[in-house]
A = this chain, B = another copy of it.
Amino acid sequence: MKYIYSFKEGNKDMRELLGGKGANLCEMTNLGLPVPRGFVVSTEACINYYKSDKIISKKVLNELDKAIANLEIETGKRFGDKLNPLLVSVRSGARISMPGMMDTILNLGLNDEIVRELSKTIDERFVYDCYRRFISMYSDVVMNFDKDEFERILDEFKSERHIKLDIELTTDDLKKLVFLFKAKYHTLAGTPFPNEPKEQLKEAIMAVFRSWNNERAKYYRKMNNIPDDWGTAVNIQEMVYGNLNNNSGTGVLFSRNPATGENKLYGEYLMNAQGEDIVAGTRTPKSIENLEKEIPNIYKDLYSIAKKLEKYYKDMQDMEFTIESGKLYILQTRNGKRTGKAAIKIAIDMIKEKTITKEEAISRITSNDIEGMLHPTFNSDDLKNKTKIASGIAASPGAGSGKVYFNAEDVIKAYDEGERDIILVRLETSAEDIEGMNKSKAVVTVRGGMTSHAAVVARTMGTPCVSGCEILKIDEKNKVILYENGLVKEGDYISVDGTNGNVYLGKVPTSSENTSSEFEEFMKYVSEFSKIQVRANADNEKDAKKALSLGATGIGLCRTEHMFFEEERIFNFRKMILASKVEERKEVLDKILPYQIEDFIKLFEVMNGLPVTIRLLDPPLHEFLPKDENEIYKLALDLNISKQSIKSRIEELKEFNPMMGHRGVRLGITFPEIVQMQAKAIFKAKEEVESKGIKTHLEIMVPLVGTEKELTYIKDIINNTYKEISNTKEHNYKIGTMIEVPRAALISDSLAKDAEFISFGTNDLTQMTYGFSRDDAGKFLDDYYDKGIMDFNPFETLDIKGVGSLIKDAILKAKKVNKNIEIGICGEQGADEDSINFLSKIGIDYVSCSPYRIPVAKLACAKATIDK
């Protein structure tokens, strides 16, 4: 095995071995671009380093010697040569770019002697400035000394000298600083600063290897689902200096505008500066358009290089360049990051330019790009001075800013008084909060994860939501949030970014939704490729319309319980729960019936012949009962029974593990009259709309089934209800089952005898297969990610090995018995790309997700088709 490759030996397809940056440097070199010369230490060397207990192997060291020798020949410079020294940069580069996560060392190869000699031919101040930077970088990266130790020396020195900016330091100052830095190094290390460039390089390479496993890199990988065992490559490259003189400079360049996608060079540069000066913000960089006037030939070169690279990589490029004494060097190029809007515009433009195909365009657009188009966002500049008070789970995308309220009642009151900038903050939400959530710009909860009540409902509404902010303490009584360093009172502004999970103090402006003509065009292409149907989770007219407008092909999950929460209904529903006799219960159900009919009529009308999948009542009854003393009192008055009897009913309904308790089909077995009422409402609605000439495609879905007889029992009730109220004998609806408990998957062949369709409820199935309560797992899963025990969240991405294999086998078994059975998925993973890719291969017909995720799901389905 070979561990080190010169830039001439690699190419862009060697990303796995050489990292993204390394592969690109090789490619550019071979394209004849002006790239500073160098070589790459491969990711295999890094993996090898970790396997050998963090020792760099002899084989790698031997190759390193040779690579240095070659580089010396190429450049005509030599390591340690006083007159013509080779100076290099040492940079990390993983398969996938992890910007800023790992370490870099510049100016490596300097020592006292070389510095003294160089000063004779180059600006002395410049040389010593490089040297002091090198010493502090080396101390930080290689030796892991506290940066502050060196910063403090610099600060004290400047304050003694009464100067503010580094630029004001004289050559003598820098010489003294070098002396002080080296002394500090000696104190901390116990040995003098290394003089030998090869030794410096070896240590630097190992330091970069180690930086693969620093905390921020591990966190970044966790957040981006990058495996821990990939390792990083290390790029060693001849130094070029943008700060050598006024004829030198440095800049960054995008081949198109990364914010809007406009096809025009975009970037900035500084003359007589190093890359870090642009980042530091002490000097204001100039727009790249200026360069055209300032140094037209360089601009022309840059332009043609940018276009060449773009054609070559078939994507918008993000480049770094340096001009050293009038000569242009390209330091790096990579596919540029961009906003969702830009991504889509660029993709559409490139299709038109015939640079890429539709398939390529679709493969390249990410779900984040789409999300960015559909939801308001914060501008990162506006966040610069904001205090982040929590970082929770990004439960529903989009950004919102507003005044804090602590319960739905207060939200509604504020809303009624005209307030629109409202953020609802709660320990956790429950069904009673729905109206308040709907009137809020964003929702924050302390507890719960991706599939908590708040998260699920917020996504359906398109309301931004951050859940699981365990770091916040909420005092609901006094209406105060306690964060680490202070408190937020009712009415104070906070800003919530549901796309990344951050919560900030104060007000931040949001962009509005970004859909554009390019977005429409792009989604048209997506629809062409999407072979799997994408249905929506929608419970009402509004959601159904939204879903249709975003391209839904039907409703895959209508949660009927959501229909019970309006004031008049919940009263009757509660009355039903409290009823002690069947007759009493039936009486109240009769009152609820007309509402349900109305609900279903509206859904059928909106969907006009597209599938409408209605799930029977699912959640445990106690979710419907009032929780606070006042509400209980009101209900007791209304019902004319004692508060105590309501309380004891609430107590009776309490469960140890409600997720595995009396819910789903189990309610239908205990209270068949509820199923009867729901079936009646569905069929009456169907009859009504059909009499107006509107078509219906009805599927009734039984939740939480685990045994065959549960399904047949409910099926009989539904069919008998149909017989009772229908004029025709024709049976033009389907009855199907959800598969949410593992047992249902295990006996799918038995269920398939009676079910006309199966819908996998992957949220519950994941919960029960792992034995992870989704409301509680947040507390320990962080440790799982930190310790590398899990590298993905199974509530976001389907666990293919476990839950996936269960689903796969269940589909196989079910199709053996009933080959035409329709197979769907409804669950949070129904819009996830990897999950859909897997599911498309095992034969599902549709996915169902919340309306705002439809475009993302369609994209994933199109990608799955292309992948096949």
Contact = CB atoms under 8 A, between A and B. Distances in A.
Interface stretch (A190-198, A415-423, A565-573, A799-807): A799-807
Contacts of A488: none
A783 interface: yes
Interface stretch (A268-276, A392-400, A496-504, A702-710): A702-710
Contacts of A789: 669, 707, 709-710, 713
A822 interface: no
12 contacts: A657-B657, A657-B773, A657-B775, A659-B771, A660-B768, A660-B771, A662-B780, A706-B772, A706-B802, A742-B768, A742-B769, A750-B801
Q: Give the interface centre of A659, A670, A743, A790 by most chain B CB atoms within 10 Å.
A: A743
A783 B713 CA distance: 12
Q: Give the interface centre of A783, A789, A801 by most chain B CB atoms within 10 Å.
A: A789
Interface string A665-697: 010011000000000000000000000000000
A687 B775 CA distance: 43
By Cβ-Cβ distance, the 7 closest A-B pairs, closest first, are A741-B771, A657-B773, A660-B773, A743-B802, A661-B776, A656-B775, A742-B742
A312 interface: no
Interface of A: 655-662, 666, 669-670, 704, 706-707, 709-710, 713, 740-743, 746-747, 750, 764, 767-773, 775-777, 779-780, 783-784, 787-790, 799, 801-803, 805-806
B806 A746 contact: yes
Contacts of A768: 660, 742, 768-769, 771
Contacts of A666: 780
This protein's copies in its complex: 2
Nearest to A740: B771
Given A779-B662, A780-B669, A741 B769 contact: yes
Nearest to A713: B789
Contacts of A658: 656-657, 773, 776
A764 B706 CA distance: 16
Given A657-B659, A660-B771, 17 more contacts: A655-B776, A656-B659, A659-B660, A660-B660, A660-B773, A669-B780, A669-B784, A706-B770, A706-B771, A706-B772, A713-B787, A713-B789, A743-B771, A743-B799, A746-B769, A747-B802, A768-B771
A769 B745 CA distance: 9
Contacts of A713: 787, 789
Given A658-B657, A775-B657, A747 B801 contact: yes
Contacts of A743: 769-771, 799, 802-803
B669 A787 contact: yes
A741 B765 CA distance: 12
Contacts of A806: 742, 746
A234 B783 CA distance: 66
A784 B706 CA distance: 12
Nearest to A786: B669
A166 to B, nearest CB: 41
A122 B741 CA distance: 69
A657 to B, nearest CB: 4
Nearest to A767: B660
